[in-house]
Structure 1
Amino acid sequence: MSAGNLATAGLTKAFGGVRAVDDATVEFHDGKINAVIGPNGSGKTTFFNCVTGMIRPDSGTVTYGGRDVTGRAPHRIAAAGIGRSFQLCRIFPRMTVRENVLAAVRPRGMAGLLRSAHDAGDVERARGWLRRVGIDHLEDVEARNLSYGQQKLLELAGVLMAEPETIMLDEPAGGVNPALIDRIAALVRELNAEGRTFIVVEHNMELVMSLSDHVVVFDRGRPIAEGPPDTVRADPAVLEAYLGV
């Protein structure tokens, strides 16, 4: 399924005099579960935003499967095969769960959304992903009435509706109860076993170390270490920068 490696070279983004991402050169492992960790303010989400077209980098490149996708609009990044979730869930609170997932097909305008809502194939696919994440019983509930953890699952179902080869998750465990964290982790493992690549920003170190194949550590806007979880956990630079040892 995978379209190839996602990589950056010299990626840089400054806000005023502060380099939120500073000459970041990273290559994520295709077909694996990659994690991006680091202290608050280390540039992880800004890095995600540069990669997915939410903001334009000042310099450097983003390549996916050998193609330069630097600075492309978010919908073009998505069309290339990269899906993402956000640190704070992006859902339509007054739309039903099913309508939210159908909206992720990215129809143009309200007329397109209405057409999608009545397309039997799209509706069945949406219900399939809702079953997969475990909230199909809530398909007619307005999204605002879901728990925060359920909203995270809804957002993930919307990401999956676009059938991405690579999925970037920004703090999927943030604010989620332990039972739902276990469900999200199990789902990530299942989807990865089916061929999808994951890149996960996460502060829950227990989850990172148990879930990831490859870990990249950011500090002050740039990667300072990478490797298997056990190697990264023992790296003196990581202990100093991230764990304060």
Structure 2
Amino acid sequence: MTTEDTSSLAAESLSKSFGGVRAVDDATVRFVPGKINAIIGPNGSGKTTFLNCVTGMIRPDSGRVSLRGKEITRASPDRIVRLGLGRSFQACRIFPRMTVTENLLVPVRNRSVRTLLGKAHDDATVRRAQLWLQRLGIDHLHGVEARDLSFGQQKLLELGGVLMSEPEIVILDEPAGGVNPSLIRWISALIQELNAEGRTFVVVEHNMELVMTLSDHVVVFDRGRPIASGTPAEVQADPRVLEAYLGV
């Protein structure tokens, strides 16, 4: 079996409808392991619904999702996290009344609810949280409640929570959305560093400049299914992509 078969994330013939709307339509996607993959497409093209199916947030009507060659189609989101797939969301999922450090400790999913509520974490876990905060550049905010952070800082905090589970594959849903250009450059550099360390990334993003400069492999969605894939240069030159975005 090839490396891609055993180490990558893949979806085969994935479909999901809501009433009469077919949000994901027989979508087959294989992400390239060890690379920065991107998903782009016009608004309403099915990108987020596709991700929700892949990460166990919703159940697809049909099709199959696999991770390292093993099916995870009906696994719970927590189970998928434990298998090495982490994800951020368009709207930051943080605990606003918890401190920055506490927010990083909560996503460590191998703890029981009682342990989480009791804040009984071992020193190694707390130290790991501190190291991630340093790397994200927000360690000086460790004792600040998350609701008092800027939107960009909240994005970094959510990413820190994802990284605390030590995922092999990281899915980022619009990491540059609502973020200033300086922070976009910071996030882009961090993604590249983490990728160089061996993590595979899947980035869903509307910022085309970021996608084209950051990504190794791009998948273009339209009307619920991938219509093109390849390097940024290949995708930019594909007439199907121009038609999807410009209607020409």
Which residue among 26, 42, 56 is the counterpart of 2:59? 56
Q: Does 1:145 align with 2:142?
A: no
Size of the alignment, in residue pairs?
243
Taking structure 1 as the reference length, what is the TM-score of the superposition? Answer: 0.97
Q: Does 1:33 align with 2:36?
A: yes
Runs of 5+ consecutive residues of structure 2 not aligned to the other structure: none
Q: Does 1:18 align with 2:16?
A: no
Following superposition, the deviation at residue 135 of structure 1 comes to 0.5
> For the residues of structure 1 that align with 2:150 and 2:204, how far apart are their CA atoms?
21
SS of the equivalent of 1:99 reads helix
- Per-residue deviation, residues 54-106 of structure 1 (Å, max 9, x unmatched): 00000000011100000210001111100000000000000000000000102
Answer yes or no: is the 8 Å Cα contact 2:39–2:204 preserved in 1. Answer: yes
> For the residues of structure 2 that align with 1:141 and 1:243, how far apart are their CA atoms?
45
In the TM superposition, 1:1-245 aligns within 5 A as 4-106=7-109, 107-109=111-113, 111-114=114-117, 117-245=120-248
- Per-residue deviation, residues 183-231 of structure 1 (Å, max 9, x unmatched): 1100000000000000010000000000000000000000000000001
> For the residues of structure 2 that align with 1:43 and 1:130, how far apart are their CA atoms?
33
Taking structure 2 as the reference length, what is the TM-score of the superposition? Answer: 0.95
Following superposition, the deviation at residue 118 of structure 1 comes to 4.0
Which shifted more, 73-82 or 117-126? 117-126
> For the residues of structure 2 that align with 1:113 and 1:141, how far apart are their CA atoms?
19
Paired letter, 1:95: M
> For the residues of structure 2 that align with 1:243 and 1:34, how far apart are their CA atoms?
23
Q: 1:132 to 1:117 in 2, by over 3 A?
A: farther
Paired letter, 1:102: L
- Per-residue deviation, residues 150-170 of structure 1 (Å, max 9, x unmatched): 000000000000000000000
Identity of aligned residues (%): 70
Paired letter, 2:112: R
> For the residues of structure 1 that align with 2:241 and 2:11, how far apart are their CA atoms?
21
Answer yes or no: is the 8 Å Cα contact 1:101–1:154 preserved in 2. Answer: yes
> For the residues of structure 1 that align with 2:170 and 2:35, how far apart are their CA atoms?
11
Answer yes or no: is the 8 Å Cα contact 2:59–2:74 preserved in 1. Answer: yes
> For the residues of structure 1 that align with 2:130 and 2:62, how far apart are their CA atoms?
41
Following superposition, the deviation at residue 114 of structure 1 comes to 4.8
Answer yes or no: is the 8 Å Cα contact 1:101–1:157 preserved in 2. Answer: yes
- When the two chains are superposed, the root-mean-square deviation of aligned CA atoms in Å is 1.3
- Per-residue deviation, residues 122-167 of structure 1 (Å, max 9, x unmatched): 1100011111111011010000000100000000000000000000
Answer yes or no: is the 8 Å Cα contact 1:36–1:44 preserved in 2. Answer: yes
Answer yes or no: is the 8 Å Cα contact 2:99–2:143 preserved in 1. Answer: yes
Answer yes or no: is the 8 Å Cα contact 2:37–2:217 preserved in 1. Answer: yes
SS of the equivalent of 1:242 reads helix
> For the residues of structure 2 that align with 1:49 and 1:118, how far apart are their CA atoms?
30
